[in-house]
Structure 1
Amino acid sequence: MEDIYNLLREHIEKVVSLTEDEFAFVKDCFIQKKYKKSECIFKEGEEVDYIYFVLSGLLKLYYTDENIKEHIVSFAMEDWWETDVSAFYTSGNASFTLECLEDTELLCLSLENFERLCNHLQKMERFFLRKSIAGHIGSQQRILSFLTSGAKERYEQLIKRNPALVQRIPKLLLASYLGMSRETLSRLFS
């Protein structure tokens, strides 16, 4: 059990350093949960109780349109954070579904504990600000990629940014995330 919290500490300390007492406080704000492959952590329309730190496994966050077509917004693997940001921060209902693509182990942080952490430790507020900014930059880069790049360029950008992620995602989901057909993706591999 202690090892999982060491992963969290290492992750946080890439941005800010923590004393033993500070980290003990951080640890107390999280709960651990495990999910099986194909299990949904939350679905569209449900409340989103946590922001999730991925200890192990792989997640996809997606929106389903009126034609029941999935639109993948993001993937998250070890050492990444994921949630429906709007629903989490506003205590609203999810616009997305968060599903496990592999057996997954998470550390979960409620909004109440998130606020407690940020109010009690300015270092953690700075940590989450940096993570939020990085996420915003990533989202803007993805949008720009869709506006200015072709299928091949989007694929190459993804490989450059996240080679380990590309290896774990089924080709059909990878194609969907990149906004192309599986056939187009297959041609890029040949």
Structure 2
Amino acid sequence: MTRVNKENAAEFLQQFPIFQDLSPEELKQVEEIAISRSISKKTVIFSEGSEKEAVFFIRTGIVKAYKTDENGHEQIVSFLKTGDMFPHTGFFNAHPYPATAVAITPTSLLAIPVRHFERLMLSTPSIAIKIMRVLGDKIRELQDKLQVLSGQDVRNRVLSFLLMLAEQHGQQHADKIIINLPMTHQEFANSIGTTRETANRLLNQLSKDELLEVDRSRIIIHNLQALKEQRDA
């Protein structure tokens, strides 16, 4: 993990909802405590259960967040991209990191140490209020996602996850949507709570139906509308 120049940190942070309403003076205060980091591919940023020291903001790159169950199986919580903040509740409790975060591409981060930020919030309560509002919205979003996924069968969970990836990571190219996300089939299965064999079978069927293509580094969706219609059927 290498320290890099934090030039334009205030401008970058203002893109986040939690900071977008801050005054230039408030942003400057946040910038002063931020630390820029350059993370190599496959580097663990923090481990589940370790002491929470900082909250991170992704400038470039992709980060995988996952939990490990008692049998050592990986349960992916999310794939995080440029413009994402993690962990979402990091500023407001003393609990350890709730998941492990690892860079799956070379990644540039801004880290804000929790203790420094707590002192800043005490001196500037308006910052704390704005952040708590955003975190409340994020918690509701995650609850909605959990409710949707837990109430579906495996096929619909696959379709819902593909549609979510298309929305969050997809890039339009002609009539196709390309999701550049280096994800193994096991990671895909872990993301929806099923086995690799089941995920492979369902993905292969969607490929045979000419709705998408899947390889280790990307997913190409040929017919987004058809995926939506299958999920909603």
TM-score by length of 1: 0.83
Q: In the superposition, relative to structure 1, how do residues 127 and 161 fare at CA in structure 2: closer, same or farther (>3 Å)? A: farther
Q: What residue ranges of structure 1 are gaps of 5+ in the alignment? A: none
Structure label with greater radius of gyration: 2
Aligned to 2:108: 105
TM-align CA RMSD: 2.6
SS of 2:147's partner is: helix
Aligned to 2:183: 170
Which of 126, 129, 133 is the matching residue for 2:129? Answer: 126
C-alpha distance in 2 between matches for 1:19 and 1:119: 17
Aligned to 1:187: 205
Structure 1 residues 109-118 or 153-162, which shifts more? Answer: 153-162
Tell me if structure 2 keeps the 8 A contact 1:48–1:84.
Answer: no
Tell me if structure 1 keeps the 8 A contact 2:39–2:107.
Answer: yes
Displacement of 1:49 in angstroms is 0.7
Displacement of 1:152 in angstroms is 3.5
Q: What amino acid does structure 2 have at the position aligned with 1:186? A: N
Tell me if structure 2 keeps the 8 A contact 1:84–1:95.
Answer: no
Which of 11, 33, 44 is the matching residue for 1:6? Answer: 11
Please give the per-residue CA displacement for 1:113-140, whole angstroms capped at 9, x wherever unaligned.
2223323334422331232122212221
Q: Following superposition of structure 1 onto structure 2, how do residues 84-95 of structure 1 map, counting pairs within 5 Å? A: 85=89, 89-95=92-98
Bigger RCO of structures 1 and 2 (CA < 8 A, at least 6 apart): 1
Aligned residues: 188
C-alpha distance in 2 between matches for 1:134 and 1:161: 18
Q: In the superposition, relative to structure 1, how do residues 157 and 2 fare at CA in structure 2: closer, same or farther (>3 Å)? A: same
Displacement of 1:4 in angstroms is 4.0
C-alpha distance in 2 between matches for 1:139 and 1:148: 14
Q: What residue ranges of structure 2 are gaps of 5+ in the alignment? A: 1-5, 171-178, 209-233
Of Structure 1 and Structure 2, the greater helix share is in 1
